[in-house]
Amino acid sequence: MKLTCKELYDFMGDYLDGNLPDDVMCVMKTHLSRCPCCEHYLENYRMAIKLGKTCCKQFAEEQVPDSVPEPLIQAILEARKKK
Amino acid sequence: MGQELPTSSWKTEEELIEALRRQEDDAYEFLVRSYSGRLLVVAKRFLGQDQDAQDAVQDAFLSAFKAVGDFEGNSKLSTWLHRIVVNACLMKLRSRKRKREKTVEELLPHFVADGHRDQVEPSWAVTFDTAVQSRETREIVRQRIEELPESYRTVLLLRDIEELSTEETAARLNLSVSAVKTRLHRARQALKTLLDPHMNGGY
C-alpha cells in the first residue's frame, strides 16, 4: 500500500482524530517521514486548528466590547415585558 | 461557593438566579448588561452581520428568560447563556435567506496528475507560541475565520471552537456525518491557506 500526497491530504482529518486503521496510519507516517511538503502542510494545518481555537476561546475576553448598543439592551428588556 | 458577581445587589450567581425566578426587573437588566457583550461576540462570529447578530442575542435572552426556571445551576450562568446564543445563531442561519455562497475551491491545495502537490509547502515561519502572544495575529486569525464561507465557517466554529462532536454537529446542522467531516476538513484547509501570508512572515 502506498499513498499519494493527494490521498494523504484527504485522510488528514481522520489521521489527526486517530480514526484510521493501523495499516493506514503506518503508511501515513511513512509518507510523512519522507515527504517534507506533506509534513509541513500537516503541521501548518494542525497549527491553524489550534490557533483558531485559542484565539477565539482563550482570548475571548479581549473581543468583548466596552459597551453594547443601548437600543439592543432596551429592546431585549422591552421584549421580555411583552411576553 | 457561588460565582462572585461584580458590583451588583446579588453576591452570588445563585442569588441572581433566584431573583430572576422571582421575575425581578432589575435582575433581568443586570443579566442583560453583564452578558450581552460576550454573547454579541459569539453571535458576530457565526452571523457576521451586525443586525443578525443583535437579533440572535435578543432571541437568546428571551429564550433564557423563559427557561430560567429550569436552570438547575449545574453549569455557570455564562456557559448556559453561551449555549443558548449558539442555538439562536443556528436558528438564525437556518431562517435567513441563503445567498449563493462562494466556494473554497481556490483555497484548497491542488495536485498534479500523479497526485503530488503542485507547489512546495514551507513550514510556517511563525511558531504557535509567538503567534498567540501577538494581539495582531490573534485578530488576524479571527478575521480569517470570519472570511470563510458561511457553511464552512459554521462547521469549523461548531467542531473546532465550540468542540461539539461530529455527530452532534451533524444533528444540529441536519447534515450527514460524512458531510460534516468533508466540510470541516475543507474549512481547516481554507483557513490554513488564508493564514499562510501572515504565518510565513509576509507582512
CB A51 to CB B195 under 8 A? yes
What's the Rg (C-alpha) of chain B?
20
B123-177 pLDDT, tens digit each? 999 999 999 999 999 999 999 999 999 999 999 999 999 999 999 999 999 999 9
The contacts found for B13-16 with CB under 8 angstroms, 24 or more apart, are B13/B73, B13/B76, B13/B77, B14/B73, B16/B77
- The domain spans of chain A are 5-82
B148-159 pLDDT, tens digit each? 999 999 999 999
CB B160 to CB A12 under 8 A? no
Angstrom distances, CA of residue B159 to CA of A81, B91, B134, B170: 36, 17, 24, 10
What's the Rg (C-alpha) of chain A?
23
CA distance A50 to chain B (A): 8
Q: Apex CA B160: angle with CA A12 and CA B196, to 5°?
A: 65
Q: Kindly provide the ipTM of the predicted complex, given to two decimals.
A: 0.92
CB B142 to CB A53 under 8 A? no
CB B121 to CB A41 under 8 A? yes
Whether residue A72 contacts residue B36, with contact meaning beta carbons closer than 8 Å, is answered with yes
Half-sphere exposure of B146 (CA within 13 A, CB side): 17
Give the contacts of B30 (CB within 8 A, at least 6 positions apart): B8, B9, B10, B16
Mean pLDDT of A38-52: 96
B77-124 pLDDT, tens digit each? 999 999 999 999 999 999 987 777 788 999 999 999 999 988 889 999
Lowest mean pLDDT among B72-81, B158-167, B189-198: B72-81
Closest C-alpha among A2, A24, A22, A1 to residue A11? A24
Closest C-alpha among B84, B92, B80 to residue B54? B92
Question: What is the predicted pLDDT for the residue at B54?
Answer: 96
Question: What is the predicted pLDDT for the residue at B1?
Answer: 39
Q: Tell me the C-alpha distance between A45 and A42, whole Å.
A: 5
Of A39, A64, A80, the CB nearest to B65: A80
**Residue B1 DSSP label:** -
Q: What φ, ψ does residue B133 adopt, rounded to 5°?
A: -85, -10
Concatenated DSSP letters of A62-81: GGS-S---HHHHHHHHHHHH
Cell of B185: 476538513
